[in-house]
Amino acid sequence: MQETGTPGRPEQERGYLPVPAEQEREELPGLADLQVRGRPVKIWAIGAGAVVLAISAAFGGLNKAEAENPPLAAGTAVNAGQFEVTVQRVVTVTDLKPLFTPEPGGALIAVVTKLKVTDDTGATPPSDLIRLIGVPGLEDDARPVGTATLDDNTQSPVLTPDAAEDVAYVFKLPKLSELPTEAKVTVQGYEHYDESLLDHHEKWLPADIVAEGTIKVTDKTKPSKS
């Protein structure tokens, strides 16, 4: 006897129907549709990224692997953001009384700079603006014992905008068999933020090192010959 009608699919003959293609897999929600604590994941990701950048800026910026800093030469101005910095010379002295005195048997090493504020607001030069690297007796992250102007010996001076001022960064050296004849100097850069995410105030924050170079050290610890 000949069967009538359309032959069924094997799946139909076994008693079930195939799932339509558009329903074969459950649709996963996209990033824009996911929510955490009632807020889209995308917003959380953007917020987390902003916090990372803010904290990074506050503590010196993200490290750039194998980045080379621009060379620093004595007498050449460097743009450090908040300041224009010119390292004029590096000298060693026995003391700078009454402002600075070394440890017994030690000496002082000073980086003499010419600084100019680029902002429209006066500022005190930060202690981390100048660093000495690889100097015997000094840690690479050592801060100066102080800063002072050369013309009137004002310590931690407040610089006025657009007025260049000679400022010495003074570090203490321990007793050494030989004083350094050269020193690697770095200049810290600063980046301006209209509103910091940490405290919502306009400020300059440390960024990258903008220049570094080896400068000859002039020894003035010995009496000059007449």
pLDDT of residue 36: 47
In a domain, 126, yes or no: yes
Range in 81-85, 197-201, 215-219 the model is least confident about: 197-201
The predicted structure's pLDDT at residue 197 = 63
- pLDDT-derived band at 52 (thresholds 50, 70, 90) equals very low
| pLDDT tens-place string over residues 134-170 | 999 999 999 999 999 999 999 999 999 978 999 999 9
Distance between CA 58 and CA 56 in Å, rounded? Answer: 5
**Does residue 3 have a pLDDT over 70?**
no
Predicted confidence band of residue 70 (pLDDT cuts 50, 70, 90): confident
User: Is 184 part of any domain?
Assistant: yes
Tell me what the mean pLDDT of segment 172-191 comes to.
95
Domain span at 137? 76-219
Query: Is 33 inside any structural domain?
Result: no
Any domain includes 87: yes
* Structural domains counted in the chain: 1
Name the band, by pLDDT with cuts 50, 70 and 90, for residue 75: very high
Residue 170 lies in a domain: yes
Q: Is residue 64 part of a domain?
A: no
Distance, in Å, from the CA atom of 209 to the CA atom of 70, rounded to the nearest integer, reads 9
Answer whether residue 125 is part of any domain. Answer: yes
Residue 88 · residue 72 · CB < 8 Å: no
For residue 84, pLDDT beyond 80: yes
Instruction: Report d(CA 207, CA 159) in Å as an integer.
Output: 21
Tens of pLDDT along 87-132?
999 999 999 999 999 999 999 999 999 999 999 899 999 999 999 9
Q: Report residue 162 as tokens.
A: 């657009």
Between 34 and 171, the higher pLDDT residue: 171
Contact between 157 and 125 under an 8 Å Cβ cutoff? The reply is yes
Q: Is 42 a member of any domain? A: no
Whether 224 shows a pLDDT value over 80: the answer reads: no
Which CATH number goes with the domain that contains 103? 2.60.40
pLDDT band of residue 58 (cuts 50, 70, 90) is very low
What's the confidence (pLDDT) of residue 212?
A: 97
| Residue 193: per-residue pLDDT | 87
pLDDT digits (tens, 9 = 90+) for 9-51: 444 444 444 545 444 455 545 544 555 445 554 444 444 444 4
Q: What are phi and psi of 16, to 5 degrees?
A: -145, 160
Q: Is the dihedral of CA 208, 211, 212, 216 positive or negative?
A: negative
Note the pTM of the prediction, 2 decimals.
Answer: 0.68
Of residues 211, 201, 185, the one with CA closest to residue 58? 201
